[in-house]
Chains A and B, each alone.
Chain A
Amino acid sequence: MEKIRVLSLTKRYRNVLAVESATLSVGDKEFFSLLGPSGCGKSTLLRCVAGLEEPTQGEIYIGESLVNSTAERINVPTEFRPIGMVFQNYAVWPHMTVEENVAYPLKVKKLPKEIIRRKLEEALQAVGLQHLAQRYPSQLSGGEQQRVSLARALIKEPEVLLLDEPLSNLDAKLREQMRFELKDLQRRTGIPILYVTHDQTEALAMSDRLAVMNAGRIIQIGTPAEIYTRPVNQFVADFIGLMNFVPCRVIERSGGAATVELLGGHRLTVADPGGRDGEAALAARPEDIALGRTGPIRCRVAAKNYLGNLIDYKVVASGQVLRVQTPNTEVFREGEDLGLSIQRAILFASDRRSRG
């Protein structure tokens, strides 16, 4: 059953289109990410679900209930939505102790004192903050404030949890740790999460599914593996992971396969995306290119970076620079003449890389 449904949602600020007819749904117990460069509309979309922004058009359901509908003129205020939310800057109230912060959602619900006390203890325990209950936020580290914010979002047992770049203000080590903790927390509580991030590693590592957004539109929705291995267009291919784009010419099409000519006459047959004949682009991941003493395409090593488990090469073939990553079993020198072969590639009909 779906916990969040967003149906052709559009948000316009004066003449800027922040979100353009976005449709998505988050299932029960699902970790769903909105991924995209800054300004792509992912935060606006999240804030619409939270009710902090009013959509220009479209519908939003949380659980069973319709919380936004421009057609029916429904816009349920944030305070009546069954949501928990963690903000990028934590938004922990500086004039309240940890305990007061976390218990606040129950206090405004006017629950009996002993119930508040019990749930507060559970919530603090869930994020490991029992020993800091009496502290003020100014006495806490960034990671601890983050946990306060998380506990506060969870204590009212919302139907969904909304996270707006919650890890971006933490340092690298802590970020990695929190990533596991968040995932673990979700597994334990089973709460569906809508997660906004501009960090593709984060999105790939944590999500059950994710939506890649650009310029206000959702470009692709899928599991991390689908997004990585079968990007629908060059924007997604380029935005997720490393990708080589090589100009090529389609010279023959038959039965769903296309033969292309690239890098000084070399021919390759790949899955045909359709479209016109002629100029096109071939996309290949660095790990999908093999490098050896022999190989169909001649190239020269221009630069080499030793990454430990991998070796990262820049090679030049027919004037094209390519990134190639190989296991550390065989090492080539800079300036060495080699041969490469493309093991797996995706053909894109046009050569426009940045368009969504």
Chain B
Amino acid sequence: MTASKLDRRYLLMAATGLFVLLVVVYPLWQVFFRSFLDAGAFSLKSYHKVFSNPTYYRAILNSVWVSLATAASCMVVGTLLAFLAVRTDLPYKKALRSLIVLPYALPSFFAAIAWIQLLGPQGYLARFFMQLSGREAAPWNIYSAAGIVFVLTVHYFVLVFITVAGALERMDASLEEAARASGAGTFRIMREITLPLVLPAILAGGLLAFIGSLANFGIPALLGMRARFFVLTTSVYYALAIPDFALATALSSMLVAVALVFMCLQLGIQRGEGRYTVISGKSVRPSELKLRSTRVPLFLGATVFVVFISIIPILSMALTALLTYWGAPLKQASFTLDHFAYILKLEAARRAVLNSLFLAALAATITTVAGVLISYMHVKAKLKGSRALDFLATIPYAVPHTVIAIAMILAWARPPASLYGTLWIILVAYLAVYLPFAVRTTHSTLQQVHDSLEEAARVSGAKLLARLRDILLPLARPGMIAGWILVFMPALRELTVSILLYAHRTETIGVTVYNLQDAGYREVAAALASIVMGLLIVGNFVIRRLTGGAAGF
């Protein structure tokens, strides 16, 4: 037997480390670094530009207040619905729950398009309102800050709903029963016992909604830019169109800064949850509140609301795709399949679909493999430095996608590696965006594989690759497939990154829908969006089946 052999796992870790360095660390460093650079020297010029021009510094304020308003309304709507869906005897709760989470399964810019179709100046609901009231115009304007907050809320309240519903389910019923035994009435218990106990969950969900809104591009782009209402993500897009890279990096750094402040808040809340450990994994089923006489009205109200936010937009999209033109009178002569025929024949659209399929499949495969390796080294092999690698790979989770796109331009759009204008730069950006998700899912999958199973293989004489091939990968396969789909699906419909990185012939589905809508081809955009929506809903169903309901909506 030879003496000490080099542990091959360290070779593997070095290779993975290089990957994370190239895809995540180096590009993000470029954003930060270059924002302080002017003609090769240290300078605060670009920040000065941000804070001296009202268009830009207002974008920061707009981003913050729009996101705060969204988070607040998400917390109200999400908490109310979570209470109704978990703690009351409302009928058809299960169906209600799957409908509630449906809007989140669709891309947010589809929601923006659908709500423009519904509430825009000639929108279906606007016209309906005008007919009812006899007025010339609807008393609202979807192209406004209020419109942005509304659509963001409809999209992100699900995050609050899920966290609060989870906390309510895990709550120990005896806490409320003790209050009841002390003589407190139902509403008093809700107010003084239940609500304070789930408050951390409400806040945590609210912060998720805040961070989501802050990083969202599609909704403020489609609803705000027309009214010249800019937030940080749309300003970066604008700065890039000028093009002013220094400005774009400075705005990106601001975006990251705001996101980080609120992410830290979220961590603080999570840590503070220790005080609320009464919400533990108990199996005691919490009691259901009897709604009695309010049961039917509340059910009707909830149903109308849920149908309004999840079914109506989808129907609106399909309707628009089937009408000869948006705003055509709703009679038989106005219906046509021309838009579908057009989009199926349009070469640019076919190319976009192929591009998106190619990018999504490749991104899902590469991130899943990288995720497995990173998780293996951290969770199983417990190598020195694997923790740091794991951390670096999850950084992009905290970075708005707009910033990741900028980072890729800075890092990979100049010689020696000039990828700009190719699909590869979009791919690298996708890898950075989705790596944290892949690491997270493979992490939990590998954690479920007991250490001794791999150790037994080592004792049997199996070397690293044999162990991965024969033991770990087969055991982790179901989780890996689910993880692959969880990257593939959002990547397929991605907009924020690809809109900043695409060039002629490298359009993605998201870019094509966005550009068609933006150029006024609403019906064609709706046709393409309808096809994609159908695919996403089917895919979602597949994920649920594969993961036994653990993933997907």
Name the distance in Å between A143's Cβ and chain B's nearest Cβ: 18
A85 in contact (CB, < 8 A)? yes
Contact of A73 among B4, B462, B475 (CB under 8 A): B4
Contact B456 A85 (CB under 8 A): yes
A79 and B4 in contact, given A93-B456, A94-B475, A108-B466 (Cβ under 8 angstroms)? no
Q: What would be 6 A-B contacts, judged by CB atoms less than 8 Å apart?
A: A52-B455, A75-B4, A79-B463, A91-B452, A108-B462, A162-B459
B504 in contact (CB, < 8 A)? no
User: What are the nearest 8 A-B pairs in CB distance?
Assistant: A91-B452, A105-B460, A91-B456, A78-B458, A85-B459, A87-B452, A108-B462, A74-B4
The number of residue pairs between A and B whose CB atoms lie closer than 8 Å in the complex comes to: 78
Contact A77 B458 (CB under 8 A): yes
Contact of A77 among B7, B452, B471, B474 (CB under 8 A): B7
B352-381 at interface with A (beta carbon < 8 Å): none
B453 in contact (CB, < 8 A)? yes
Q: A85-B455, A108-B461, A153-B459 are known contacts; what are 11 more A-B pairs with Cβ within 8 Å?
A: A52-B458, A66-B3, A77-B7, A83-B459, A85-B456, A91-B450, A95-B475, A104-B470, A105-B460, A108-B463, A152-B460
Distance in angstroms between the alpha carbons of A149 and B461 in the assembled complex: 15
- A155 (CB) vs chain B CBs: closest residue: B460
Task: Note all chain B residues with C-beta closer than 8 A to A156.
Answer: 460-461
A87 and B455 in contact, given A80-B1, A80-B5 (Cβ under 8 angstroms)? yes
B433-481 at interface with A (beta carbon < 8 Å): 450, 452-453, 455-463, 466, 470-471, 474-475
Contact A76 B5 (CB under 8 A): yes
Contact B3 A72 (CB under 8 A): yes
Proximity bits, A289-325, B CB within 8 Å = 1, else 0: 0000000000000000000000000000000000000
A89 in contact (CB, < 8 A)? yes
A237-259 at interface with B (beta carbon < 8 Å): none
Contact A104 B452 (CB under 8 A): no
Name the distance in Å between A67's Cβ and chain B's nearest Cβ: 8
Distance in angstroms between the alpha carbons of A78 and B459 in the assembled complex: 6
Contact B460 A104 (CB under 8 A): yes
A164-197 at interface with B (beta carbon < 8 Å): none
Contact of B452 among A84, A89, A94, A153 (CB under 8 A): A89
A65 and B455 in contact, given A77-B7, A95-B475 (Cβ under 8 angstroms)? no
Contact B459 A50 (CB under 8 A): yes
A130-169 at interface with B (beta carbon < 8 Å): 149, 152-153, 156, 162
Task: Note all chain A residues with C-beta closer than 8 A to B474.
Answer: 95
Number of interface residues of A (CB under 8 A): 36
Contact A77 B5 (CB under 8 A): yes
Distance in angstroms between the alpha carbons of A95 and B471 in the assembled complex: 8
Contact A104 B462 (CB under 8 A): yes
From A67, A72, A104, A156, residue with most partner B Cβ within 10 Å: A104
Task: Note all chain A residues with C-beta closer than 8 A to B463.
Answer: 79, 108
A34-60 at interface with B (beta carbon < 8 Å): 50-52
- A88 (CB) vs chain B CBs: closest residue: B452
A76 and B1 in contact, given A93-B453, A94-B475 (Cβ under 8 angstroms)? yes
A93 and B3 in contact, given A85-B459, A104-B462 (Cβ under 8 angstroms)? no
A276 in contact (CB, < 8 A)? no
From B1, B7, B460, B474, residue with most partner A Cβ within 10 Å: B460
Contact A65 B470 (CB under 8 A): no
Distance in angstroms between the alpha carbons of A77 and B7 in the assembled complex: 8
Task: Note all chain A residues with C-beta closer than 8 A to B4.
Answer: 73-76
Contact A104 B1 (CB under 8 A): no
A109 in contact (CB, < 8 A)? yes
B1-21 at interface with A (beta carbon < 8 Å): 1, 3-5, 7
Task: Note all chain B residues with C-beta closer than 8 A to A89.
Answer: 450, 452
Name the distance in Å between B436's Cβ and chain A's nearest Cβ: 28
Contact B5 A87 (CB under 8 A): no
Distance in angstroms between the alpha carbons of A91 and B5 in the assembled complex: 26
From A92, A108, A109, residue with most partner B Cβ within 10 Å: A108
Contact of A65 among B1, B7, B461 (CB under 8 A): B1
- A68 (CB) vs chain B CBs: closest residue: B4
Contact of B3 among A51, A74, A109, A152 (CB under 8 A): A74
Contact of B471 among A52, A76, A83, A93 (CB under 8 A): A93
- B6 (CB) vs chain A CBs: closest residue: A77
Name the distance in Å between A79's Cβ and chain B's nearest Cβ: 5
Distance in angstroms between the alpha carbons of A77 and B462 in the assembled complex: 10
Contact of A91 among B1, B453, B470 (CB under 8 A): B453
Contact A152 B456 (CB under 8 A): yes
Name the distance in Å between A348's Cβ and chain B's nearest Cβ: 40
Name the distance in Å between B408's Cβ and chain A's nearest Cβ: 39
Contact of B455 among A72, A91, A109 (CB under 8 A): A91
- A50 (CB) vs chain B CBs: closest residue: B459
B147-202 at interface with A (beta carbon < 8 Å): none
